[in-house]
Structure 1
Amino acid sequence: MSDATAAAQAADSAGSAIPQDELDRLTDDIIAALKTVYDPEIPVDIYELGLVYRIDISDDRDIAIDMTLTAPGCPVAGEMPGWVENAVGAVPGVGRVDVNMVFDPPWDQSRMSDEARVALDMW
């Protein structure tokens, strides 16, 4: 997923009470935080892997994230949401962070960014 796609998903500026410049900063900072979380079996961050499906920033600056795993039986399924919550929760200006694990649609390699494809030599 590109940064522009995530930014579009992260906020609907017409419906937000947050000033656009602050919304843009929050979005960029949240994406940067997500890029610090790695799938321990794959040397690529969860954002570039395409595991983050939705980022929603409420007017109260609470964050809701829908994400998935590369496979439902992933050994860190119970831990990964906490890693994401901690990373995003450390972003200045962020309120409560809720991470929802979803498996619909299922993840597949087409969701990876070009950066991830290069890192994993998956062209």
Structure 2
Amino acid sequence: MTDETKTAETQPAETQAAPQPESALPAEELSRMSEDIVSALKTVYDPEIPADIYELGLIYKVDIKDDRTVDVDMTLTTPNCPAAAELPMMVENAVASVQGVGPVTVQVVWDPPWDPSRMSDEARLVLNMW
């Protein structure tokens, strides 16, 4: 990560990441964009699972850069996920819909591998995994 990159680490149990002070974007704008991106990600559902991808813990990282480009690292529940072709595009479209966001790049990563411990309590409740 360079000085010019603001990283919002997104984890299922935590709703927001605090903006880092080295960003050239105003703190209020960066905070709003981060919140709006998380809200947008919560509208994306794996077609086979009745929980959104954010609460499932599929979003590993969101980088908002000074030029407003956004890089997203995400994973899938399994490498053989039937929605593997469509979920990254759905994530890209959701993040791109946020006001002030520039170009969006979504990278599917496999390290660390996803497991159910990454799910939020909300996702566990929806999936009856208590």
Tell me the TM-score normalized by structure 2.
0.88
How does 1:30-109 map onto structure 2 within 5 Å? 30-109=37-116
**In percent, how many aligned pairs have the same letter?**
62
Letter in 1 for 2:28: D
Cα distance in 2 for residues equivalent to 1:64 and 1:15: 18
Equivalenced residue count is 118
Please report how far the alpha carbon of residue 14 of structure 1 lies from its aligned counterpart in structure 2 after TM superposition: 2.0
Cα distance in 2 for residues equivalent to 1:114 and 1:15: 33
* SS of equivalent residue, structure 2 residue 21: helix
How does 1:3-22 map onto structure 2 within 5 Å? 3-4=15-16, 7-8=17-18, 11=19, 13-22=20-29
Q: Does 1:23 align with 2:30?
A: yes
Cα distance in 2 for residues equivalent to 1:24 and 1:67: 21
The one-character-per-residue Cα deviations of 1:2-56 (angstroms, maximum 9, x if unpaired) are 113xx24xx4x22211111111100000000000100011000000000000000
CA RMSD after TM alignment: 0.9
* SS of equivalent residue, structure 2 residue 124: helix
Letter in 1 for 2:15: D
Tell me the TM-score normalized by structure 1.
0.93
Cα distance in 1 for residues equivalent to 2:26 and 2:107: 26
Cα distance in 1 for residues equivalent to 2:125 and 2:87: 24
Runs of 5+ consecutive residues of structure 1 not aligned to the other structure:
none
More helix by share: 1
